[in-house]
Amino acid sequence: MKVLKLVLLLMALALPVLIFMFLKFFGKNEFAVEPLYQDGAPAVEGCIQPPKGAYVIQHELLSNLGWSEKDSLTLFYVVKQSAGAEAWGRIRENFTPEELPVLKITAAGILKDSMLNEEFVQVPSDSLQILKRCFLFLQEPYDLLLVDNKRRIRGHYPLHNREEIDRLIMEVEIILRKY
């Protein structure tokens, strides 16, 4: 009886170790951050519907905003109010401006954030609303947009939500590691 108990105890202790070793050597722990709108852009009332198929932002539109194809990822920030320095600090702790360029877009007449000493691309207010709704598909509360070098939207994020900034940081790390 003692031998049976000893065998069962050893099996109970060895089984988790064997499972761990199997997964460690043969398992892959990978995540994918798929581009959004692979089946086509969403229909937005009052906007021209883009062509069928995977949605990419128009090259001319992005170029006018300062986007460069040589950057693997670009983060667009559509400014509504003064930015939260804490969120930008967390983003910059993890990524240099070369790794993740940030393009800040604001309505004409809104001043730059002197605290962060950042320059903004200024767009007429009505054009900014069309840009947000019809091309970038940014709805409240989202004001950050991640775009890859193939002009695909990788994610929407609200700047003033700590959990969403954590998600942004994690997704950028995954994308930069893969591509």
Tell me: the pLDDT tens digits for 139-159? 988 989 999 999 999 999 998
In this prediction, residue 153 carries a pLDDT of 94
Calculate the alpha carbon distances from 23 to 10, 11, 76, 177 in Å. 20, 18, 39, 22
Checking if the pLDDT of 46 tops 60, the result is: yes
Please check whether residue 158 lies inside any domain of the structure. Answer: yes
The pLDDT confidence band at residue 179, using thresholds 50, 70 and 90, is low
Q: In whole numbers, what is the pLDDT of the chain averaged over residues?
A: 84
Q: 123 in helix, strand or coil? A: strand
The more confidently predicted of residues 68 and 164 is 164
CATH number, domain containing residue 136:
3.40.30
Residue in this structure with the two tokens 């905003």, named with its chain if needed = 65
Sheet with 102-107: strands ordered across: 121-123, 102-107, 73-78, 144-148, 153-157
The pLDDT confidence band at residue 115, using thresholds 50, 70 and 90, is very low
Please check whether residue 153 lies inside any domain of the structure. Answer: yes
Q: What is the 3-state secondary structure (H, E, C) of 86-122?
A: HHHHHHHHHCCCCCCCEEEEEECCCCCCCCCCCCCEE
Largest CA distance in the chain: 85
Residue in this structure with the two tokens 């004001």, named with its chain if needed = 143
Please check whether residue 48 lies inside any domain of the structure. Answer: yes
Beta strands 144-148 and 102-107: pairing type?
A: unpaired
Checking if the pLDDT of 105 tops 80, the result is: yes
Please check whether residue 17 lies inside any domain of the structure. Answer: no
In this prediction, residue 69 carries a pLDDT of 79
Mean pLDDT throughout 96-106? 87
Checking if the pLDDT of 109 tops 80, the result is: no
Instruction: Count how many domains the chain has.
Output: 1
Checking if the pLDDT of 47 tops 80, the result is: yes
Please check whether residue 83 lies inside any domain of the structure. Answer: yes
Please check whether residue 50 lies inside any domain of the structure. Answer: yes
Structural domain for 77, as ranges: 35-178
Please check whether residue 29 lies inside any domain of the structure. Answer: no
Please check whether residue 91 lies inside any domain of the structure. Answer: yes
| Residues 165 and 87 sit within 8 Å (Cβ to Cβ) | yes
Strand runs (DSSP E) across 11-167, as ranges? 73-78, 102-107, 121-123, 144-148, 153-157
In this prediction, residue 23 carries a pLDDT of 85
The more confidently predicted of residues 173 and 121 is 173
Tell me: the pLDDT tens digits for 58-97? 989 888 888 887 888 999 988 866 556 677 788 889 998 8
